[in-house]
Amino acid sequence: MQTIKKAVIPVAGLGTRFLPASKAIPKEMMTIVDRPTIQYIVEEVVASGIEEVVLITSEGKSAIENHFDYDFQLDTVLKEKNKFQLREELTNISNLIDIVSVRQKEPLGLGHAIWMARNVVGDEPFLVLLGDDLVMSDVPCCKQMIDLYNQVGESIVAVQRVPLDQTYQYGIVEGEAIDIERAHKVSRMVEKPAPGTSTSDMAIIGRYLLMPEIFDVLGRTTPGHGGEIQLTDALQALANKREMYAYEFDGVRYDAGDKLGYLKAVVDFALQHRTLGKPFRDHLRSVC
Ligand code: G1P
């Protein structure tokens, strides 16, 4: 079985749900307590043993690349001012992991964004993490998926149960439970089913572990929901040919691309913070 070494993170989206905040700043650079959301995603990847990140970017997203780059000028200033701790923190971010960027020149959909990574990923299974989806868990969500992959050796989508009246916001998976805890064998997937048409409450969240065959399938996938090339449609086509699994990960998922989801993430991550957690909890008690 091939090891999972690469993770694709599409960050080309416009972030319309977060306007006006995301007009001049990529939504992935919005701060959750003391780090941009994209850093949490990259840290999850690193903690899961991944060696290389492939960012799928678009115009106006260079702040993301800069965040993980080494800034010689800033480093020199911090050195002169004897700000050693800060310097070390910034150096650690730039040394986190190798990052390669690929431009998605047109917003043709999530499926198209992932297809853009085909030459960098090559012929090996890989992870996909969506920048909006933050997961708080003891074991990183991607690590949980890699552990399942080591047992089943096929593609996996992370899922969570959602109320049936919210299924229209997600890719929805139908499947049957298997002998492995939290795992299901996928029989059918639908991208954002019309309200009232879904009987399954298993929603795809932004974590996928995919076999490289997905690239051929994506290359043939025609526009679907919203006129975009949908990853879920390609996954359904792949699931028709070989096994695919859904995994109810252990943890809490936040939709950080949505204003309320973002606020929940800020509060929950702040409460868990090493130094800020206690004073923040005291503050919340005083205002609630
Ligand atoms: C994407 C996927 C969808 C998935 C969702 C999770 O949709 O297409 O299948 O359920 O992410 O966040 P988006 O929210 O980007 O429209």
Residue 46 lies in a domain: yes
Ligand 1 centroid to residue 262 C-alpha, Å = 16
pLDDT of residue 246: 98
Residue 123 lies in a domain: yes
Residue 146 lies in a domain: yes
pLDDT tens per residue, range 149-205:
999 999 999 999 999 999 999 999 999 999 999 999 999 999 999 998 998 999 999
- CA nearest ligand 1 atom 9, residue: 171
Residue 82: which CATH number? 3.90.550.10
Mean pLDDT value of segment 19-29: 90
H/E element, 127: strand 126-129
Q: Measured between alpha carbons, how far is 123 from 150 in angstroms, rounded to an integer?
A: 18
Burial class (CB in 10 A: 0-12, 13-18, 19+), 25: middle
Q: How confident is the model at residue 32 (pLDDT cuts 50, 70, 90)?
A: very high
Alpha helices in 61-109 (DSSP H): 62-67, 72-80, 84-94
Residue 77 lies in a domain: yes
257 CA: nearest ligand 1 atom: 14
**Domain containing 71: what range?**
6-257
Q: pTM here?
A: 0.95
Ligand 1 centroid to residue 230 C-alpha, Å = 9
Ligand 1 centroid to residue 163 C-alpha, Å = 16
Ligand 1 pocket, residue 125 CB under 6 Å: no
Residue 268 lies in a domain: no
φ/ψ bin of 85: left (φ > 0), alpha (ψ from -120 to 50), beta (otherwise) = alpha
Residue 263 lies in a domain: no
Residue 197 lies in a domain: yes
Q: How confident is the model at residue 288 (pLDDT cuts 50, 70, 90)?
A: confident
Residue 282 lies in a domain: no
pLDDT for residue 111 is more than 90: yes
- CA nearest ligand 1 atom 8, residue: 171
Count the domains in the chain. 1
Alpha helices in the chain (DSSP H): 37-47, 62-67, 72-80, 84-94, 110-115, 118-121, 141-152, 214-220, 231-241, 259-272, 277-287
Termini Cα distance of the chain:
52
Alpha helices in 154-256 (DSSP H): 214-220, 231-241
* Type of residue at 125: P
Ligand 1 pocket, residue 221 CB under 6 Å: no
